[in-house]
């Protein structure tokens, strides 16, 4: 028998999880759907897929099962990641519903509007990836020209953010402040400020062509 699973990824605020759960329950009530399993996680999207239990979620779903999310952003930290997860759901013939975006994929089939939306997301994901790569390369090249040290300064402690330094540099170049970047990666503004300072990262605002 097909089961219904709801996935909620939230910040540490109770209000956020309540809002998502209420939205899903309201959707199910109107359509006489009963949720069998709730995946509730209080953590940022910057955590790995395993920590966000995405792999566990996907492995638990079988053909004909239903997966509900309040909105697409709950699934991943980037468009490319979201698109890849949706592709897995389609290949497994899992019925997928993203309430806010009005996306409904059933038995691997999509209506025209959903096909257009998913295709658009896929295209945007590629653009997002290319832009990030391009901006990072330009920023790093500029820093090399200026004779600035790249990466972790000698004597500074290692950090879980060291693997994300290129992304952080790109966000700085786009004008995001340390507090906003900290939220994206799930760390405090103080921790992000320390990381940026000890890695010698400075914003290089790129001139739009």
Nearest to 99 by CA among 15, 8, 38: 8
Q: Does 201 score more than 70 pLDDT?
A: yes
Q: Is there a contact between 179 and 186 (Cβ–Cβ < 8 Å)?
A: no
Q: What's the pLDDT at 60?
A: 93
Count of Cβ atoms closer than 10 Å to residue 100 Cβ: 13
How confident is residue 66, by pLDDT bands cut at 50, 70 and 90? very high
Per-residue pLDDT of 78-115, as tens digits, reads 777 787 888 888 888 899 998 988 888 886 565 666 66
Per-residue pLDDT of 19-47, as tens digits, reads 889 999 999 999 999 999 999 887 654 45
* Nearest-angstrom CA–CA distance, 167 and 182: 12
Q: What's the pLDDT at 94?
A: 92
* Nearest-angstrom CA–CA distance, 168 and 162: 10
Q: Which of 56-60, 144-148, 161-165 has the lowest mean pLDDT?
A: 144-148
Q: Is there a contact between 90 and 115 (Cβ–Cβ < 8 Å)?
A: no
- % residues pLDDT > 70 (the chain): 62
Q: What's the pLDDT at 29?
A: 95
Burial of 122 (0-12, 13-18, 19+ CB in 10 A): middle
Q: How does DSSP assign 116-154, residue by residue?
A: HHHHHHHHHHHHHHHHHHHHHHHHHHHHHHTTPPPSPPT
Active site residues: 11
Distance of CA 154 to the CA centre of its chain: 32
For domain 4-110, give the CATH superfamily. Resolvase, N-terminal catalytic domain (3.40.50.1390)
Q: What's the pLDDT at 123?
A: 60
* Nearest-angstrom CA–CA distance, 55 and 50: 6
* Contacts of residue 202, Cβ cutoff 8 Å, sequence gap at least 6: 148, 172
**Average model confidence (pLDDT) across the chain:** 76
Nearest to 42 by CA among 69, 74, 66: 74
* Contacts of residue 163, Cβ cutoff 8 Å, sequence gap at least 6: none
Q: What's the pLDDT at 208?
A: 41
Q: Which residue has the higher pLDDT, 43 or 2?
A: 2
* Nearest-angstrom CA–CA distance, 55 and 93: 16
Q: Pseudo-torsion of CA 5, 73, 45, 21, nearest 10°?
A: -40
Q: What's the pLDDT at 30?
A: 95
Q: Which residue has the higher pLDDT, 29 or 180?
A: 29
Structural domain boundaries in the chain: 4-110, 132-198
Per-residue pLDDT of 113-151, as tens digits, reads 666 666 666 566 565 556 556 656 666 666 666 655 555
- % residues pLDDT > 90 (the chain): 20
């Amino acid at each position: 028998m097909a089961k219904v699973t709801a996935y909620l990824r939230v910040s540490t605020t109770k209000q956020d999880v309540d809002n998502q759960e209420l939205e899903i329950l309201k959707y199910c009530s109107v359509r006489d759907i009963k949720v069998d399993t709730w995946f509730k996680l209080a953590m940022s999207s910057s955590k790995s897929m395993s920590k966000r239990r995405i792999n566990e979620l996907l492995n638990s779903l079988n053909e004909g099962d239903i997966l509900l999310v309040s909105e697409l952003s709950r699934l991943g930290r980037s468009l490319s990641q979201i698109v890849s997860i949706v592709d897995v759901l389609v290949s497994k013939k899992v019925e997928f519903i993203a309430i806010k975006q009005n996306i409904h994929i059933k038995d691997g089939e999509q209506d025209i509007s959903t096909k257009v939306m998913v295709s658009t997301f896929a295209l945007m994901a590629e653009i997002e990836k290319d832009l990030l790569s391009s901006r990072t390369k330009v920023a790093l090249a500029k820093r090399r020209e200026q004779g600035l040290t790249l990466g972790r300064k000698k004597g500074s402690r290692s950090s879980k953010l060291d693997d994300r330094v290129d992304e952080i540099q790109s966000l700085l170049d786009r004008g995001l402040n340390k507090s906003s970047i900290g939220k994206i990666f799930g760390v405090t503004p103080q921790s992000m400020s320390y990381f940026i300072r000890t890695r010698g990262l400075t914003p290089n605002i790129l001139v739009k062509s």
